[in-house]
Structure 1
Amino acid sequence: MKPQLQLTVDCADPDRLAAFWAAALGYRVEPAPAPFPTWRAYWLDQGVPEEELGAGDCSDSIVDPDGTGPRIWFQQVPEAKAVKNRLHPDLGVSGGRGVPFETRRERVRSEADRLERLGATRLRSEDSPDTGSCSVLMQDPEGNEFCVH
């Protein structure tokens, strides 16, 4: 059997990051199993102690509505992020080098602007018509790096 890929992101506020990344990727927050109104209600029913659940309603995973992308789980951990990510997402929005540079640049800038409105921080931009490179390095609301290109 082929393994299924789930990405796990350690974080302080799983509900917040799940909402951010769902909006960023066009995913949706994974609904709790029926008949439970929330994940918290589900986990309590399964015997998980209240003190292990943290704050919020435990909506801490997101899924691709098309079912093609991996499930992403935001796992609450006590320690803060301390170093640069060893793995980071790249969000390809430009259309690739077959698209005119100015069009690609506008697409990347527009997406970076949208992600800033969602709570991301722009760290630096690379905008080089000579090499055809156009990208923005960003951080999500908890400081995890990702690129828009």
Structure 2
Amino acid sequence: MGPYPGTVATPWSLTIDCASPSTLAGFWAEALGYAPAPPPPGWSSWDAWFDDHDVPVDERGDGAFLHDPAGVAPAISFLRVPEDKIVKNRMHLDLAVGGGRHVAWDERRRRVVTEVERLVALGATVLAEVPADRPDHVTMADPEGNEFDVL
């Protein structure tokens, strides 16, 4: 049982520290099919919410927020931090576009390659194909260097 009455799991979202929240949110919105999050219920805009919560104008670009338009997947927040990324992620996203191991390797590979090409056009970079001899997945980095896999 989750921490809230009637829930099975704990509600959660993903937060990504970054240098440019709007740029990274734009990349991940395109990569995942997400959209900018609407303002919280009761506010007509994010600026209205910021005004009501006394958020200074010069801090309003310090975050960007995405949601799954279908309401199924978790929300994602991007928060500006002063430090650069310096080490490999210990947690990463897997974009499961290939369909799983029950799909023939040639078809999985075609799907993965197509998605990798799309993501490169959006600003991602290829880091490695794993394993190199018959790739099961491709490790990539988003525009700020955060690793993720396409499988």
Q: TM-score, normalised by structure 2?
A: 0.85
> 1:30–1:61: 8 Å Cα contact kept in structure 2?
yes
1:65 offset after TM fit, Å? 1.2
Aligned to 1:139: 141
Distance 1:21 1:138 in 2: 13
1:32 offset after TM fit, Å? 2.7
Cα shift readout 1:29-70 (whole Å, capped 9, x = no counterpart): 11234422xx34531342112233346xx5x01111111111
Q: TM-score, normalised by structure 1?
A: 0.86
Unpaired runs of 5+ residues, structure 2, are none
Aligned to 2:12: 5
Aligned residue for 1:116, secondary structure, equals helix
Aligned to 2:58: 51
Matched ranges for 1:1-149 at <5 A? 1=4, 2=7, 3-33=10-40, 34-36=43-45, 39-54=46-61, 60-126=64-130, 128-129=133-134, 133-149=135-151
1:121 offset after TM fit, Å? 0.6
Aligned residue for 1:115, secondary structure, equals helix
Aligned residue for 1:93, secondary structure, equals coil
Distance 1:106 1:40 in 2: 44
1:146 offset after TM fit, Å? 0.2
> 2:22–2:61: 8 Å Cα contact kept in structure 1?
no
1:99 offset after TM fit, Å? 1.0
Distance 2:84 2:66 in 1: 22
- Give 1:10's aligned amino acid: D
Comparing 63-72 with 24-33, which one deviates more in the overlay? 24-33
4+ residue runs of structure 1 moved beyond 4 angstroms?
A: none
Aligned residue for 2:103, secondary structure, equals coil
Unpaired runs of 5+ residues, structure 1, are none
C-alpha RMSD of matched pairs (Å):
1.7
Comparing 105-114 with 41-50, which one deviates more in the overlay? 41-50
Distance 2:18 2:47 in 1: 18
Report % sequence identity: 48
Distance 1:44 1:72 in 2: 22
